[in-house]
């Protein structure tokens, strides 16, 4: 932006209005444009399309409230996660070199990408698991059970044992639902819960944390006291109470997770932003007459983003786990094929059909493990100030 | 410092008060499931749904003005008049008193084991950083944090109860507390709870101890010829225990309360978690509230103790500010 032609012109002489004034970055423009498009589509779905009609008739896809939130989350991830990485190629390479040192994290990232793509794209192409009592209790492929366990064995019966087939690679549940399909649809649920609730959390925690730190005084006191109270209430029991009172549809569950779980991260952001707001550049901006929202958005938020990203990555697994736990307890959304619910379904058949509870659990376990590895590696890559274990 | 303690105590009361008020308001704005059920029954039986609702409200004192109901609710909470459990036909407090010994039976051993073992592993990892044992410890920590406890419990039941038959599949609440049979059926719940707690404890212990492993006073002690055990217990563990002791109270409480809830459901232990879940599934609001107050109360007291412990254990911190 500054002149490099060697003019005697000095910084104070530049007529900023002539140069375009307060330029809005192209990325922000694109983001706002897609938000407008999003709002129009949302309005179309809610005002013009009947409740039980599919939103997009060609695909037969009835976009639910959760889907809409998920789309918004993905938009934000693209514009504030993917685009900056693509634009700042040099920094991306630097981070990647840091990140690549941790081999477990690279494997985790690949695994999570697969889960994400299969869970979001794959579910559009496969049929949801159907009730089929004839196909109940089929064992997974390369394993066998006594032939009297399944209603009718889909594979061969050898020595009185029913062999698993590739028709149901992970076997079927007591209702004859294919476990592979249940697992794939469970991926979608887990990703939606983890990403949407974390997105809400990030927005709230960053807004509250930076505002409290920058404004100080009574605003700080009131906001942080509220956070104190929110943190005193044990999270899981808060979920339980709210699910009991309001019901456990997936949409509400995600909202409950997002609206009540941001306290700890807000505290982190506040302590980080407190340090940042003492820095020269913030004082310079203030001295130049920048408004409070401007300083917070342009100077504080980018500087606490590393803390936020790391904390958010470590928050996702706990949310996925909480959703699975609630579904396991039978308090989740009964219409949604969550991993926790499949695990609960198989509990009664542990001695005869071991695969129903165990297989979805492995996916749940590895997804949580992968997010934990990823968060740990991000902390090492993004935050050079922290050393050692924690 | 006394001023700080006094203010902290006052804040604990205020926080409890606000939480209870929010709970009351939540109850007010949500439709009462029991009232809805009674109305439905009345309507099905040909009666008036409106009359059924009014009768229900009069019986429960719900027709009183909002303020009166609020003050009654508050007084009842603080005097332990937590209402009547319809599904169990006994007072809520009695139901809780019946259930909590079962929670303690596996909770206390798990907390003790995980604290001792977790700190020990954490210290060892810190003093032997980047060795094979350290990596193994880190791996165990990741495993413990990541594994879904309820699923882990199921897997353990599958292997050790169903396949191997070493422990009973179903929990029997009638065996004597101090008996081999009871110990046998508690091994798996204790183990599951321990793995959950141990992971975060060793991570904290390792991080805290690392701060002191290369401290000047540790080098001095080494130079003066103190042996490894003395350095570890007197020079590293002591300063590390200060933040650790508070983390143990604050962060572990939530973890243990949550895990124990799921553990009780998986293993069929009739403790507080099981009681709470049954209350939720049966729409027994009084019992749901009562069983939710317990962990909230524990958390408030735990947080209070955590902050107070800090003032006593670490006199360097200045409390003039907050």
Q: Tens of pLDDT along A156-205?
A: 777 777 777 777 778 777 777 888 888 888 888 899 999 999 999 999 99
pLDDT of A271 strictly over 90: no
Q: Which of A232, A260, A314 should be substituted to probe chain B, the one whose Cβ sees the most B Cβ atoms within 10 Å?
A: A232
How does pLDDT run across A112-156, given as a tens digit for each residue?
999 898 888 887 788 777 777 777 777 777 777 777 777 777 777
| Residues sharing a CB contact under 8 Å with residue A133, sequence separation 6 or more, in sequence order | A151, A175, A176
Task: Answer whether A365 sits within 8 Å of B154, measured CB to CB.
Answer: no
Cα–Cα distance for residue pair A326/A330, rounded to 1 Å: 6
* Cβ proximity of A177 and A129 under 8 Å: yes
Q: Comparing C-alpha atoms, which of A286, A281, A283, A277 is closest to residue A304?
A: A277
Task: State the best of B12, B207, B258 to mutate against chain A, taking most chain A CBs within 10 Å.
Answer: B258
- Cβ–Cβ of B265/A329 closer than 8 Å? yes
CATH of domain A100-127+181-387: 1.10.3720.10
What residue ranges do the domains of chain B occupy?
31-79, 93-313
The pair phi, psi for residue A96, each rounded to 5°, is -60, -40
Contact B148 A373 (CB under 8 A): no
Measured between CA atoms, the residue of chain B closest to residue A343 is B151
Find, among A77, A101, A114, the residue nearest to A366 by Cα: A114
pLDDT, mean of residues A104-109: 89
- Using CB atoms, which residue from A331, A343, A372 is nearest to B146? A372
- CA dist A54 and B217 (Å) reads 70
The CA distance from B221 to A117, in Å, is 56
* Residue A286 reports pLDDT greater than 80: yes
User: Which residue of B19, B155, B277 is in closest CB contact with A229?
Assistant: B19
B296 → closest Cβ in A233, A325, A389: A233
Q: What percent of chain A has pLDDT over 90?
A: 12
- Is the distance from CB of A189 to CB of A336 less than 8 angstroms? yes
A17: Cα separation from own chain's centroid: 41
Confidence of residue A388 (pLDDT cuts 50, 70, 90): very low
Q: Among A244, A317, A354, whose Cβ lies nearest the Cβ of B280?
A: A244
Which chain B residue is nearest to residue A322, measuring alpha carbons?
B148
Question: For residue B91, which phi and psi values (nearest 5 degrees)?
Answer: -60, 150
CA dihedral of A325, A331, A336, A337, whole degrees rounded to 10: 40
Mean pLDDT of A371-389: 70
CATH topology of domain B93-313: MetI-like fold (1.10.3720)
**Which chain B residue lies closest to A388 (C-alpha atoms)?**
B207
Residue A347 and residue B83: Cα distance in Å, rounded?
Answer: 34
Lowest mean pLDDT among A286-290, B246-250, B318-322: B318-322
Distance CA A360, CA A320 (A): 13
DSSP SS3 for B82: coil
Number of Cβ atoms within 10 Å of the Cβ of B278: 20
CA of A264 to nearest chain B CA: how many angstroms apart? 11
Across the interface, of B19, B142, B258, the residue whose CB is closest to A369 is B142
| Inter-chain residue contact B254 with A324, CB threshold 8 Å | no
In degrees, rounded to 5, the angle at the alpha carbon of residue B13 between the alpha carbons of residues B10 and B15 is 110
Region A98-113 average pLDDT = 87
Residues of A with Cβ-Cβ distance to B27 under 8 angstroms: 245
Q: Would you call A368 and B146 a contact, using CB atoms and an 8 Å cutoff?
A: yes
Q: What is the pLDDT confidence band of residue B250, given thresholds at 50, 70 and 90?
A: low
Q: Are A389 and B157 an interchain contact pair (Cβ–Cβ within 8 Å)?
A: no
pLDDT at A12 over 80: no
Average per-residue pLDDT for chain A? 81
CA-based nearest distance A6→chain B, Å: 52
pLDDT score recorded for residue B60: 66
Rg (CA), chain A: 25
Q: Phi and psi (nearest 5°) for A234? A: -60, 125
The per-residue pLDDT for A1 is: 44
Instruction: Report residue A389's pLDDT band, with 50, 70 and 90 as the boundaries.
Output: very low
Assess whether pLDDT exceeds 80 at residue A245. yes
Enter the DSSP assignment of A11. G
**pLDDT tens string A301-326:** 888 888 888 888 889 998 999 899 98
Kindly compute the dihedral angle of the four CA atoms of residues B192, B195, B196, B202, in this order, to the nearest 10 degrees.
Answer: 160
Q: Which of A20-29, A81-90, B15-24 has the lowest mean pLDDT?
A: A20-29
Q: Looking up tokens 């897997």, which residue turns up?
A: B155
| Confidence (pTM) | 0.84
Predicted confidence (pLDDT) per residue in A47-100, tens digit: 777 666 666 666 666 778 888 888 888 888 888 888 888 888 888 888 888 788
Q: Which residues in chain A are closer than 8 Å to B203, comparing Cβ atoms?
A: 389-390
pLDDT of residue A52: 67
Is the complex ipTM more than 0.90? no
pLDDT band, very low/low/confident/very high, at A3 (cuts 50, 70, 90): very low
Q: In what order do the strands lie in the sheet with A161-163?
A: A144-146, A161-163, A157-158
DSSP H/E element including B250: helix B237-267
Number of Cα atoms under 13 Å in the Cβ half of residue A115 = 26
Q: What is the mean pLDDT of residues A355-378?
A: 88
For B262, the closest of A233, A325, A369 (CB atoms) is: A325
User: What are the sequence ranges of the domains in chain A?
Assistant: 100-127+181-387, 130-177
Alpha helices in chain A (DSSP H): 26-43, 65-77, 83-87, 89-100, 103-117, 123-125, 179-215, 217-232, 235-246, 250-260, 263-276, 280-287, 292-295, 301-328, 339-345, 355-382
* Residue A202, both tokens: 């990030």
């Amino acid at each position: 932006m500054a002149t490099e032609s060697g003019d005697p012109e000095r910084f104070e002489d530049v007529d900023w209005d002539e140069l375009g004034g307060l330029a809005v970055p192209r990325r922000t423009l694109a983001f706002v444009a897609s938000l407008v498009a999003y709002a129009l589509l949302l309005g179309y779905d809610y005002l013009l399309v009947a409740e039980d009609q599919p939103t997009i008739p060609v695909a037969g896809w009835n976009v639910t409230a959760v889907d809409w939130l998920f789309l918004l989350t993905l938009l934000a991830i693209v514009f504030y996660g993917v685009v900056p990485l693509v634009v700042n190629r040099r920094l991306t390479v630097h981070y990647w070199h840091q990140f690549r040192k941790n081999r477990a994290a690279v494997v985790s990232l690949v695994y999570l990408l697969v889960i994400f793509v299969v869970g979001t794209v794959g579910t559009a192409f496969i049929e949801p698991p159907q009730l089929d009592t004839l196909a109940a209790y089929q064992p997974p492929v390369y394993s066998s059970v006594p032939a009297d366990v399944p209603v009718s064995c889909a594979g061969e019966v050898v020595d009185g044992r029913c062999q698993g087939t590739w028709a149901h690679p992970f076997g079927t549940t007591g209702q004859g639902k294919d476990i592979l399909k249940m697992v794939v649809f469970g991926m979608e649920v887990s990703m939606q819960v983890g990403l949407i609730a974390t997105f809400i959390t990030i927005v709230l925690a960053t807004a509250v944390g930076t505002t409290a730190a920058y404004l100080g005084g009574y605003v700080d006191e009131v906001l942080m006291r509220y956070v104190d109270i929110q943190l005193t209430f044990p999270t899981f029991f808060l979920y339980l109470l709210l699910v009991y009172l309001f019901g456990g549809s997936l949409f509400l569950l995600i909202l409950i997770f997002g609206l009540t779980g941001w306290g700890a991260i807000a505290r982190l952001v506040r302590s980080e932003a407190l340090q940042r707001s003492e820095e020269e550049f913030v004082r310079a901006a203030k001295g130049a007459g920048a408004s409070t929202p401007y300083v917070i958005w342009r100077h504080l938020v980018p500087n606490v983003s590393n803390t936020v990203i790391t904390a958010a990555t470590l928050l996702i697994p706990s949310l996925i786990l909480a959703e699975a736990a609630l579904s396991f307890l039978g308090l989740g959304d009964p219409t949604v094929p969550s991993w926790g619910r499949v695990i609960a379904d198989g509990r009664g058949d542990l001695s005869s059909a071991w695969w129903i509870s165990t297989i979805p659990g492995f996916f749940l376990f590895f997804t949580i493990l992968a997010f934990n590895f990823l968060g740990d590696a991000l902390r090492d890559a993004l935050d050079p100030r922290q050393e050692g274990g924690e | 410092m006394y001023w700080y303690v006094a203010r902290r105590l006052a804040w604990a009361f205020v926080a409890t008060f606000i939480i209870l008020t929010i709970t009351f308001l939540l109850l007010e704005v949500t439709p009462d499931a029991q009232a809805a059920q009674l109305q439905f029954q009345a309507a099905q039986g040909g009666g008036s749904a409106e009359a059924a609702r009014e009768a229900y409200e009069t019986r429960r004192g719900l027709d009183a003005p909002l303020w009166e109901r609020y003050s009654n609710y508050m007084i009842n909470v603080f005097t332990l008049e937590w209402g009547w459990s319809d599904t169990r036909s006994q007072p809520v407090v009695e139901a809780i008193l019946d259930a909590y010994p079962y929670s303690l039976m596996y909770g206390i051993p798990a907390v003790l084991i995980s604290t001792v073992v977790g700190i020990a592993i954490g210290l060892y990892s810190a003093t032997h950083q980047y060795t094979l044992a350290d990596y193994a410890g880190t791996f165990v920590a990741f495993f413990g944090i990541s594994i879904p406890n309820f699923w882990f419990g199921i897997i353990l039941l599958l292997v050790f109860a169903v396949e191997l038959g070493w422990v009973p599949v179903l929990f029997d609440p009638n065996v004597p507390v101090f008996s081999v049979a009871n110990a046998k059926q508690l091994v798996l719940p204790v183990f599951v709870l321990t793995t959950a707690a141990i992971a975060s404890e060793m991570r904290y212990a390792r991080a805290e101890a690392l701060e002191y492993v290369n401290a000047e006073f540790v080098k001095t002690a080494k130079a003066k010829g103190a042996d490894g055990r003395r350095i570890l217990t007197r020079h590293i563990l002591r300063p590390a225990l200060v933040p650790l002791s508070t983390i143990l109270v604050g962060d572990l409480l939530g973890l243990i309360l949550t895990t124990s809830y799921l553990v009780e459901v998986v293993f069929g232990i009739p403790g507080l978690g099981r009681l709470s879940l049954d209350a939720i599934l049966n729409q027994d609001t009084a019992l749901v509230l009562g069983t939710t107050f317990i962990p909230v109360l524990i958390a408030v007291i735990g947080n209070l103790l955590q902050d107070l412990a800090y003032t006593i254990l670490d006199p360097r911190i200045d409390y003039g500010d907050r």
